[in-house]
Amino acid sequence: MESNNTSVVNSHNEWDPLEEIIVGLLDGGADLPWEIGLQAVMPKEDVESSRAFHLDRGGKSIDRHRTAPALKELAEFIRILEGEGVTVKRPKPLDHSESFGTPQWQSPGGNVQADPRDVLLVIGDEIIEATMSWRSRYFEFLAYRDLIKDYFKQGARWTAAPKPQLTDELYKHDYVRGEEYVTTEFEPVFDAADVARCGRDLFVQRSHVTNLFGIEWLRRHLGDDYRLHVVEFEDDRAIHIDATFVPLCPGKILVNPDRPLKAVPDVLKNSNWELLTAPRSTLPESYPLYRSFRWLSMNMLSLDEKRIIVEKSEEPLINALKDWGFEPIPCAFRNNYRFGGSFHCATADIRRTGTLQSYF
């Protein structure tokens, strides 16, 4: 695909024509260690069983039989991307079963490299490494360093947000579910996937992993070219905006009927943007989600203003997208859900044809 941009890294929104993307991987992954930040995003009814599972398994390698079906889907996803002319890059696998720590804390292991979107925020020609807010994810950025150094050498800008301390002061151990967030304002923290990009307007979710201090850091870092709109949703597990509030093209945002906005931001009130309500997922109640997220159906990847990669079993969503004028591209991905994400999470934009614009 021909690009008018000279920068190797260039992405301003979620819908410009996609040219290059990082796709995550499962090699080297470990089960997440138990920590209070993880507890906060577990389904309420699963907290006790999750605690037992993660205390036992945390930091231990994920067996191949658990990754095999997901790997097949990832291969098909990559085949589709490449078939559509998108260049796919992969991170370097890390061994997440190694324990690590800082002078203040120890973690029995890491995570899995399935979700680059959580770690890397691309704004224009800049790659920002998010702080992250779980101890288990502290060193996840290392998997992307070879790629980032290469992009930097080719002219991209590169920023690592302030490394957080992640000491006990950051976490509210007695937080009340549904009434407050597990993270305090001790230091700036954010996950990159709490940002939805619409050119000069960025919607940033206050969540269990992104605090107001982190959003303020981003606001000052990005400066006057951008307007950051802080959004909150009725969601007791709030983590990442990309299965809750999903910009699809100029003028259209897919919203989650179970997670209404606590307050509609002024920029939306005064615009003619449509909020399209996502149909419910077809995922059977009995589907083994392993404490992951039922609304990952919304976690789609736009190849441009029309073409959207969507889970192939989500017929109601596929039909709704067609009715709204999009061209859905179905791909199986449900076996990847257990690793926390779908197509949007599993990727990080590197380059889309387009320039910085105001859409509001």
Catalytic hit among 240, 249, 304, 349: 240
Cβ distance to ligand ABU smaller for residue 107 or 347: 347
Is 240 a catalytic site residue? yes
Among residue numbers 251 through 310, which ones bind ligand ABU (CB under 6 A)?
A: 293, 295-296
Which is closer to ligand ABU, CB of 73 or CB of 242? Answer: 242
Among 73, 242, 304, 314, binds ligand ABU (CB under 6 A): 242
CA nearest to 86, candidates 12, 11, 191: 11
Give the three-class secondary structure for 148.
Answer: helix
Q: Minimum distance from CB of 161 to ligand ABU (Å)?
A: 18
**Cα→Cα distances 183→44, 58, 133, 217, 244, Å:** 18, 21, 8, 16, 20
- Binding to ligand ABU by residue 326, rule CB under 6 A? no
Q: Which of 188, 199, 247, 341 binds ligand ABU (CB under 6 A)?
A: 341
Q: How far apart are CA 287 and CA 294, in angstroms?
A: 9
Residues in the chain: 360
For residue 152, how many other CB atoms are within 10 A of its CB?
15
Question: Distance of CA 264 to CAs 218, 231, 258, 274, 277, Å?
Answer: 21, 8, 15, 12, 15
Catalytic residue list contains 344: no
Q: Which residues pair with 204 in a beta bridge?
A: 195, 230
Q: Which stretch binds ligand ABU (CB under 6 A): 21-29, 178-186, 241-249, 305-313?
A: 241-249
- Tokens, residue 51: 């605690």
CA–CA distance, 151 with 158 (Å, rounded to integer):
9
Candidate residues 54, 240, 291, 338; the one interacting with ligand ABU per rule CB under 6 A = 240
Q: Closer CB to ligand ABU, residue 19 or residue 194? A: 194
Task: Establish whether 345 is a catalytic residue.
Answer: yes
DSSP three-state, residue 163: coil
Phi/psi of residue 274, nearest 5 degrees: -95, 140
Restricting to residues 147-176, name those near ligand ABU by CB under 6 A: none
Residue 22 binds ligand ABU (CB under 6 A): no
345 contacts ligand ABU (rule: CB under 6 A) = yes
Q: 200, 227 in Cβ contact below 8 A?
A: yes
B/e letters for 339-356, b = 16+ CB within 10 Å, e = fewer, are bbbbbbbbbbbbbbbbee
**Shortest distance in whole angstroms from residue 341 CB to ligand ABU:** 5
- Which window, 156-164, 223-231, 242-250, 260-268, contacts ligand ABU (CB under 6 A)? 242-250
Nearest to 129 by CA among 117, 112, 111: 117
Query: Does residue 311 touch ligand ABU according to CB under 6 A?
Result: no
337 binds ligand ABU (CB under 6 A): no
Binders of ligand ABU in range 25-64 (CB under 6 A)? none
Number of residues that bind ligand ABU (CB under 6 A): 12
Least distance in angstroms from the C-beta of 344 to ligand ABU:
8
Judged by CB, which is closer to ligand ABU: 114, or 147?
A: 114
Considering beta carbons, is residue 8 or 114 the nearer one to ligand ABU?
114
Which lies closer to ligand ABU via its Cβ, residue 8 or residue 209? 209
Rule CB under 6 A: say whether 352 interacts with ligand ABU. no
Tell the smallest beta-carbon distance from residue 131 to ligand ABU (Å). Answer: 16
Q: Which residue from 38, 123, 243, 283 is in contact with ligand ABU, where contact means CB under 6 A?
A: 243
Order of all β-strands in the sheet with 157-160 = 120-123, 126-129, 157-160
Are the CB atoms for 335 and 70 separated by under 8 Å? yes
Give the integer Cα–Cα distance in Å for 119 and 208: 15
For residues 248 and 260, what is the distance between their CA atoms, to the nearest angstrom? 18
Q: Nearest approach, Cβ of 164 to ligand ABU (angstroms)?
A: 19
Residues that bind ligand ABU (CB under 6 A): 193, 239-240, 242-244, 293, 295-296, 340-341, 345
Indicate which residues carry an active-site annotation.
Answer: 191, 240, 345
